[in-house]
Chain A
Amino acid sequence: MTSPAMAARFSGARRRRRVVNAAACGLLSAAVVVALIPLVAVLSYVVGRGTEALSIEFLTHSMKGVGPLDDAGGAYHAILGTLEQVAIAAVLAVPLGLAVAVYIVEYGGGRFAYAVRFLVDVMTGLPSIVAGLFIFAFWVLALDKGFSGLAAGLSLAVLMLPVVVRTSEEMLRLVPHELREAGYALGVPRWRTTISVVLPTASAGITTGVMLAVARVTGETAPLLLTAFGYDAIRRSPFEGPQSGLPLYVFSQAGSAFDVAVRRAWAGALTLIVIVLVLTVTARLLAGRSRLPNS
């Protein structure tokens, strides 16, 4: 049956397949290396240049009265602004997003729930600049409220909402049916079951999702440009007048022609990335402690 010539052909084909397989697997592994090069490059540059420029003064001073060539000033006002704006966004988006997720998972199933779910997914793709433009057109222009930290918080809330809904929805879906059924069997009303059984069970996962959403909007620059507008001095109240934000601060310093400003940009970038990565990593660690199966 198998002549020596055929055997040779088969072994040749087998060798070729093996070589192709090895080459393909090598390429796939190389893709991971290629993808991680920018991560290492970005982080090392930000840490390297950032630590050079970062100082206690940077973290405790604003840009009030700092001339274009002065190697002075800092991002205190911007850090303060970011904390306030992100807090406003979270206060608005988290309860609303949770309620939407509860609707989709606990009461959904019909066409309306399907539409809501689909639109929430579509909203995750909303460009952040469009969220900024919307709040600018609606809050700043139509309602004539002017630029403020609150306006920035609103635009960040628009961006945060779909992320909170999606992650909470996934977590609620992981809660075993038996827990709900146990509640109903005890005669506990449905809303009490949702609040006292379903939500606490999913709380670790939801917390993770919320922290990731907070991390994401903390780094958003584009909406701040159109809503908070930027301000050099400390503005404690987010409700009146333009305010700065850390990403916005980095953007404006990076766009400057002067080296001292670019140094401040790197220091701001390091501060920003530390905040964002600490939030992200803590969120992941929390997720590891979830009480839910396979989350």
Chain B
Amino acid sequence: MTAATGTPIATTVRAPSRRRHGDTVFHGIVVVAAGFVLVLIAAIAVFLIAQAVPAIDKVGWRFFTEETWFPDAEPARFGIAALAFGTVLSSALALAMAVPVALGCALFLTELAPRRLGRYVGYLLDLLAAVPSVVYGLWGVFVLVPALVPVQRGIDGAVGGVVPVFDSRNGVYGRSIFAASVVLAIMVLPIVAALAREVFRQVPRAHREAAFALGATRWEVIKLAVLPYGRSGIVGAIMLGFGRALGETIAVALVLAASFSIDIHIFEPGGNTIAANIATKFGEAGQTGRNALIASGLVLFAITLLVNVIARGIVYRSAVAAEGKP
């Protein structure tokens, strides 16, 4: 029973084959624990669906097209269109800002930095990831938002007339989707950097040395050997960062001035995300309101699950490929 399940790590030597009660019991315990993980994920889906259905029943398909959020009104009017839009928009903007910097950090740590310096910088990036999101939110709303106002006004003044995205029609800036994206960017940066660093570490030494032997400069080594080898791993890392940004709640809830409309003017105060809306509306929500929030959370769960499954799939494939070619 014990040694027959798959190939354990110590395949070179079979554990004593004589059946022992201790082994049977212990094996049973750890299998049940492992099975619990599957049960847990299934339970999350089941209980969210069970509580979401009563709310979705009230509005039907409009749940996906409605922008406003009045679940406790009679008749109830609410939907996730604006929330989903804001969630994806703010996360995408955050990634656009964070990814170049994160990849730069990862390349600096693996390709340029002396060992010791690299280790210390790595610790500091880990600290950036360790700061709680509520602290980022507090700092974001009281320090970053005022600091970003002149930046947004400047960009608006320069190109706002031509590019409507950067235009603030009422001349007010501040607690905008853009400000939320900057906070999100800071928060996903260390995550993407850490994952990308793992990817670059897997690049075989021989590939780098081959490029150096041909007279390549450091940058050419990165361009010719490191980046192509790590491409799919980088895609996975970016998607995992995207998943993290989609689900971030508290920092966004503090920074954004909530509004419920699909609006591409990223410098104007307003906008909202699924997660932030749950945090801000939960306290005042009635029966239907809570069910509606759970329904929106179910959508968030489905989106992040999809993103994570695809991203992990890519990372697993690239890891297997990396082990295949030594």
Contacts and interface: CB of A to CB of B under 8 A. Distances in A.
A14 B12 CA distance: 53
Contacts of B30: 99-100, 102-103, 106-107
A56 interface: no
Interface of A: 17-18, 20-21, 24-25, 27-32, 34-36, 38-39, 41-43, 45-46, 96, 99-100, 102-110, 112-113, 115-116, 118-123, 125-131, 133-134, 136-138, 141-142, 158, 161, 165, 173, 177, 180-181, 184-185, 187, 189-195, 215-216, 218-222, 225-226, 247, 250-251, 254-255, 262, 265-266, 269, 272-273, 276-277, 280, 284
Contact of B12 (A103, A137, A177): A177
Contacts of B283: 225
A284 B125 CA distance: 13
Main secondary structure of the interface of B (DSSP, over half): helix
Main secondary structure of the interface of A (DSSP, over half): helix
A24 B26 contact: no
Nearest to B32: A99
Contacts of A280: 126-127, 130
B159 interface: no
Interface stretch (B40-48, B75-83, B162-170, B261-269): B40-48
Nearest to A215: B130
Contacts of A127: 246-249, 275, 300-301, 304
Chain B interface size, as a band, is: 35 or more
Given A103-B34, A222-B279, 4 more contacts: A107-B5, A129-B279, A137-B48, A191-B22
12 contacts: A28-B104, A36-B125, A41-B143, A96-B36, A106-B30, A107-B8, A109-B7, A122-B41, A126-B304, A127-B247, A137-B47, A189-B23
A142 B130 contact: no
A18 B40 CA distance: 55
A138 to B, nearest CB: 4
B16 A177 contact: no
Given A100-B34, A189-B20, A46 B127 contact: no
Given A158-B40, A189-B20, A105 B9 contact: yes
B131 A130 contact: no
A189 B133 CA distance: 46
A38 B26 contact: no
Nearest to A138: B47
Interface string B42-62: 011001101100000000000
A4 to B, nearest CB: 22
A29 B139 contact: no
Contacts of B240: 125
B47 A125 contact: no
B124 A134 contact: no
Contacts of A265: 138
Contacts of A102: 30
A133 B285 CA distance: 14
A24 B222 contact: yes
Contact of B305 (A35, A122, A194): A122
